[in-house]
Amino acid sequence: MEKQDFFTSRWGLILSALGISIGTGNIWRFSRIVAQNGGGSFLIPWVIFLFIWSVPLIITEFALGKNSRKGPIGSFIKKAGSKYGWMGGWVAFVSTAIMFYYAVITGWCFYYLYSTVSGSLLSTPDHLQFWNQFSTSSLPVFFNFIALAVASVVVLRGVSNGIEKVNKVLISFLFIIILILLVRAVSLPGAFEGLKYFFTPKAEYLLDYKVWLNALTQNAWDTGAGWGLIMTYAVYMKKQEDISINAAIMGFGNNSVSLMAGMIIFSTVFALGSGDPLSQISQSGPANTGLTLIYLPKLFSNLSDSYSVNYFFTTIFFLALSFAALTSLISMVELASKSISDFGINKKKAIIIVSIIGFAFGIPSALDIRFLLNQDWVWGMALILSGAFISFAVIKYGVNKFRVELINGEGSDIKIGKWYNFIIKYLIPIQAIVLIIWWLSSSISWDKEFLNPFHSENFATCVFQWTIVLVSLFLLNKKLNKSFINE
């Protein structure tokens, strides 16, 4: 029997939880989606969904992990019942499938940091060619290996000695770096125009349901709510630890970083960009890398006449991006390893298995961006279903009982009111169903061959891969239960 490891302090737990949620999505995806959805018009629904999707789900995950002391599969079996272990399996599988290609993205960040430090990124005359050369070489495989190796070593060191210590340092530095970049960006001549666009709401966008659905999607993907990652970290929180305030800090902290990153990017692009700044921010580029890996390095290399200033700001930008990516990757490795070790396998062995499988399954994404895009579409979408399953587990357990006993129980600093019952029982399932229907029906309209499962981002590839996993997990349900039934 392995000795249970715990987070040693509340701040260690909070910074680690922030490490889950603050990822490349805050810096990379957020600004692009804001630009595509009318600037300030997007921010209003984005804040509303923080209250009715992200924070309630984060609270739920904390409560499930803290009280079951198991990863997603065990948590579902213990709280929803033995019939629903496959739902926990789905939550764990989806985050693990995301880990396979997220390690590749983390590797990209590491490579760009390395290229900045070595000077090659700042001296290149063509940033698109720089990206093309890198992405078509075997270097992404090597950096995928490095990213997974670093994350696995941290997880191997345990919760208090590895995950907590690393997150305390990296997330604290990340906040400092973001603040330095923010001060520099908003003080650039012309930055005000970018901020003006960023905060100006336009009625036609506010009345567009697509803007609202995109805001909900951003919350579902970006805050870490509904991934099962928080549930896994919560296994290691002490009994006397609070849930509600910690969950709120995580949700608001994550969105604070997104807001700062948006202000940095809009200020920089409007101040230094040539041509139409909005099209520069909203352009996707290959694998949605256009803004972060092609356009921003170009702007940073022209930040001032001084090479040292440009070198400093480009380096800290990619340092922040690498920290954000790595802390999220660490939580994914922990979730996959915890899910395996819950079946009685030694934790260290489980981590090694996860890193080897993770590296092997990441290779197709590292070698072919179309494969990565496919996986991002299929499993990113699946997260919405994970969120719905988590709310289902609570409904099955009894929403009011869950709130009173597990959330407002031992250690709670504040008591959560009955509003939580309404959100979990009605709003989360409705939001999940609307989002899934909207995305899948949209995917039919953007691909004429929407029934071809071998296309990168369409209806059939999503339904096909989901069905395989769901049917397999459903058939394995009895086996999944065996390990937990006698506990």
Q: Which is closer to another protein, CB of 119 or CB of 201? A: 201
Residue 2 per-residue DSSP state: P
Q: Which of 335, 333, 298 is nearest to 317 (CA)?
A: 298
Q: Which of 125, 117, 121 is nearest to 134 (CA)?
A: 121
Token pair recorded at residue 166: 């690393």
CB of 401 to another protein, least distance (A): 25
Q: Which is closer to another protein, CB of 222 or CB of 334? A: 222
Q: Which of 348, 452, 358, 326 is nearest to 22 (CA)?
A: 326
CB of 336 to another protein, least distance (A): 30
CB of 44 to another protein, least distance (A): 8
CB of 52 to another protein, least distance (A): 14
CB of 158 to another protein, least distance (A): 24
Q: Which is closer to another protein, CB of 14 or CB of 294? A: 14
Token pair recorded at residue 412: 């709670």
Q: What are the distances in angstroms from CA 199 to CA 185, 258, 391?
A: 16, 14, 33
CB of 110 to another protein, least distance (A): 28
- Looking only at Cα atoms, what is the longest distance across the chain? 68
Token pair recorded at residue 121: 């990124």
Collapsing DSSP states into helix, strand and coil, what is residue 289?
coil
Which residue ranges make up the site for another protein (CB under 8 A)?
A: 10, 14, 40, 43-44, 47, 50, 195-196, 198-201, 240, 242, 245-246, 248-249, 252-253, 255-256, 259, 413-414
Return all residues near 168 (Cβ < 8 A) that are at least 6 apart.
Answer: 11, 12, 15, 16
Q: Which is closer to another protein, CB of 136 or CB of 200? A: 200
Q: Which is closer to another protein, CB of 10 or CB of 127? A: 10
Counting other chains too, the contacts that 203-208 makes at CB distance below 8 Å and 24 or more residues apart are 203/41, 204/38, 205/37, 205/38, 205/39, 205/41, 205/42, 206/38, 206/41, 206/44, 208/38, 208/41
CB of 168 to another protein, least distance (A): 15
Return all residues near 411 (Cβ < 8 A) that are at least 6 apart.
Answer: 238, 239, 240, 241, 242, 243
Are 316 and 181 within 8 A, CB to CB?
A: yes
Burial label, 183 (beta-carbon count in 10 A; 0-12, 13-18, 19+): exposed
CB of 175 to another protein, least distance (A): 11
Return all residues near 406 (Cβ < 8 A) that are at least 6 apart.
Answer: 63, 64, 66, 67
Helices (H), 119-138: 120-123, 127-135
Token pair recorded at residue 471: 């049917």
Q: Which of 102, 29, 50 is nearest to 265 (CA)?
A: 29
CB of 121 to another protein, least distance (A): 32
Return all residues near 146 (Cβ < 8 A) that are at least 6 apart.
Answer: 107, 110
CB of 207 to another protein, least distance (A): 16
